[in-house]
Amino acid sequence: MHLSLNNSLGKWILPATAPFSPEALNYFSRLDAAGDTTYVDYKQPLANYIDSLVTLGGAYWDDMLSSTSFVGVGIQGVTVPLRDGMTVPTQNNFVAGDLDQLTGLKGGTGSKSIDTNTVGTDYAQDDASLSVYASTTPTVIGTIAGDSTVSGGMQLRQGASTNIKHSCHGAVQTTVGEFGVGILGVSRDNSANYNYRTNATNGTLTQASVTVASGDITLFGASGVSSLYDGRLATYHAGPALNLATLEALQDTLITEIAAI
């Protein structure tokens, strides 16, 4: 511990406690390096979210492969990973006008996407998860996120009407669940079935895992190809299996706290 001398009193004093955790400060320094200044007004909610993930550890933080926030940041910050060491995504054709600090990024032109710069084979066949936080209801349906529509893919799509189609290293995509604001996600921790969450509802689909496909994990599209999906996404994650309801609760809090500023 280092002490400093208060010259006016002639006494040694303890330094002030840092206002944020080391993990939050690291994230903020990388946002600064990216040229983002918008995030400054939303530091506390972002720090609270990061600290909650750090507390859970494992798949929620230490082992997560890709995750950024699209809320509480400027356009420069949407590709800054929450944790140093995650892959740095690439954004294609988004501009500042596509971003709302309270609700996130809006797609829909067929030319805008986020490439996580991870591929399907970066994720274990029986230990993988993918989710987005849908903050608005789309008017044009399409592929929301994923790597492949073929066998072994991990993908989230909006089908006809409000149906959600998804896959998690199974042989086919399955239409189960309805669209709803909040987390849309899949998580597999065994070879026999996987969990999904849509419209604040958990489910389990019995479907054996197969050899993993190798496409790019992409948001607002799949395998590097953009879709016409025009909903807004507030955040996303990709990594090992985790509890999607637990993650959604943390993201609900993040969005609520940001909206209160």
pLDDT, tens digit, for every residue of 52-106? 999 999 999 999 999 999 999 999 999 999 999 999 999 999 999 999 999 999 9
Whether residue 176 contacts residue 203, with contact meaning beta carbons closer than 8 Å, is answered with yes
Sequence-ordered list of residues with C-beta below 8 angstroms from that of 28, at least 6 positions apart, any chain: 20, 39, 43, 46
Mean pLDDT, range 108-121, rounded to an integer: 95
pLDDT, tens digit, for every residue of 186-238? 999 999 999 999 999 999 999 999 999 999 999 999 999 999 999 999 999 99
Q: pLDDT value at position 17?
A: 54
Give Dmax (Cα) for the chain: 74
- For 204, the domain range is 4-259
Mean pLDDT, range 104-125, rounded to an integer: 96
Number of domains in the chain: 1
* Residue whose entry in the numeric block shows the structure tokens 């789309």: 138
User: Rounded to an integer, what is the distance from CA 128 to the centroid of its chain?
Assistant: 14
Whether residue 113 contacts residue 226, with contact meaning beta carbons closer than 8 Å, is answered with yes
Half-sphere exposure of 195 (CA within 13 A, CB side): 19
pLDDT, tens digit, for every residue of 2-34? 334 444 444 444 445 569 999 999 999 999 999
- CATH value at residue 73: 2.60.120
Measured between alpha carbons, how far apart are the two ends of the chain, in Å? 35
* Residue whose entry in the numeric block shows the structure tokens 């999906």: 229
pLDDT, tens digit, for every residue of 29-50? 999 999 999 999 999 999 999 9
CA dihedral for 35, 39, 44, 50, sign (positive or negative)? negative
Residue 97: C-alpha distances to residues 105, 107, 232 (Å): 9, 11, 12
